[in-house]
């Protein structure tokens, strides 16, 4: 473990330093008063144990919920080669503020051994908290189904409003967020982006502002899809359409599951083009779709088969090409991203 310092953002959206000083010490705040001891688990590769320092300084801890989640997220961000973190009994007692906080971790991420809590990276990041900002789709009762033509599918939840996802990406060093598109607020930006020749080549929506307003109105009344604006540190960079694949046009081209999710995306703000940011929003939109509904086992897409740059990016974020096929208007690549593979191989 090498000396490093990463700027991270805590759950109250105030920046804090996370400093790994050595293999023995990890600081969780800017002045070093909140510190935990780090030791390698020699019996389990890529695993560390965190515990309270055996010094009076440990009494200076400010135990504001949800400190446990913040602690785990920061530790995983700083210890990039670590796949499992164990928190000792005293640390759990200091940071845990009720059963509700522990319940935010998936049950299979925890195992009791000597009073410790073992948390695997791949399971922790499947928790909805602390990154999902809207009510998760999983909470919508699966009480009825409906049909579109011959397609029978679950009744879908209402589209979200406002901020839906927000997470500081330690690799990029910026916060990635998504919020529901608002026609009154975003129409001008949406129009400018769609009429950019680079975007229009793929989206084919270089239309007037009034025509695009109608497009957004129609989308708002479509129960299988909704639009999002993506932001880096609050600055809008792109537009995304999220859809349930089974009742989408894509659903008839493969054996779609009831809870497969898909997305279309564009980067309209040229300031936010580039390799690092593209990988960051790809990680974020896929992460959002998986944590929004625990029943979603697969995220899908159907970009133009000729869009080789996007296909290369997608491969780096655990998407793989199933096949090529023909829509009436384009030759497409069917892309899949499986939940298990994403959380096993993509480092968030």
Given 15, 209, 302, 344, which residue is catalytic?
Answer: 302
CB 345 within 8 A of CB 323: no
CB 234 within 8 A of CB 177: yes
Q: Which residues of 188-200 are buried (b: 16+ CB within 10 A; e: fewer)?
A: eebbebbbbeebe
* Phi, psi dihedral angles at 37 (to 5 degrees): -85, 140
Measured distance CA(114)–CA(124) in Å, rounded: 21
Per the annotation, the verdict on 302 as an active-site residue is yes
Cα–Cα nearest to 305, from 335, 337, 260, 277: 335
CA 134, 140, 145 angle in degrees (round to 5)? 140
CB 229 within 8 A of CB 181: yes
CB 337 within 8 A of CB 298: yes
DSSP string, 129-182: TTTB-S--GGGS----EEEETTEEEEPPPPPP-SEEEEEEETTTTEEEEEEE--
Measured distance CA(108)–CA(115) in Å, rounded: 16
Measured distance CA(300)–CA(248) in Å, rounded: 11
- Which residue in this structure is represented by tokens 């996370």? 18
Per the omega criterion (within 30 degrees of 0), is the bond before 210 cis? no
* Phi, psi dihedral angles at 326 (to 5 degrees): -115, 115
- Catalytic residue IDs: 302
């Amino acid at each position: 473990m090498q000396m490093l310092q990463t700027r991270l953002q805590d759950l109250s959206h105030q920046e804090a330093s996370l400093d790994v000083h050595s293999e023995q010490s990890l600081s969780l705040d800017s002045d070093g008063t909140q510190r935990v001891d780090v030791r390698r688990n020699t019996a389990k590769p890529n695993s560390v144990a965190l515990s309270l320092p055996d010094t009076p300084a440990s009494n200076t801890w400010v135990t504001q919920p949800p400190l446990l989640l913040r602690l785990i997220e920061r530790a995983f961000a700083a210890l990039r080669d670590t796949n499992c973190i164990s928190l000792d009994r005293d640390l759990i007692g200091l940071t845990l503020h009720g059963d509700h906080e522990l319940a935010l971790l998936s049950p299979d991420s925890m195992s009791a051994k000597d009073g410790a809590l073992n948390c695997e990276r791949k399971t922790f990041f499947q928790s909805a908290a602390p990154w999902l900002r809207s009510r998760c789709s999983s909470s919508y009762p699966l009480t009825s189904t409906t049909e579109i033509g011959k397609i029978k599918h679950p009744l879908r939840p209402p589209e979200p409003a406002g901020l839906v996802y927000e997470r500081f990406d330690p690799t990029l060093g910026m916060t990635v967020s998504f919020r529901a598109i608002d026609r009154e607020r975003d129409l001008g930006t949406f129009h400018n982006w769609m009429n950019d020749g680079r975007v229009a080549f793929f989206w084919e929506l270089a239309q007037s502002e009034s025509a695009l307003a109608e497009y957004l109105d129609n989308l708002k009344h479509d129960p299988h899809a909704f639009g999002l604006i993506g932001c880096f540190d609050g600055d809008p960079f792109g537009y995304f359409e999220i859809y349930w694949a089974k009742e989408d046009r894509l659903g008839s081209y493969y054996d779609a599951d009831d809870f497969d999710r898909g997305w279309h995306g564009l980067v309209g703000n040229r300031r936010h083009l580039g390799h690092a940011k593209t990988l960051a929003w790809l990680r974020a939109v896929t992460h959002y779709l998986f944590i929004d509904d625990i029943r979603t086992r697969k995220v899908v897409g159907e970009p133009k088969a000729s869009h080789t740059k996007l296909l290369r990016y997608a491969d780096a974020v655990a998407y793989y090409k199933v096949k090529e096929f023909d829509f009436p208007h384009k030759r497409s690549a069917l892309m899949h991203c499986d939940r298990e593979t994403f959380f096993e191989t993509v480092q968030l």
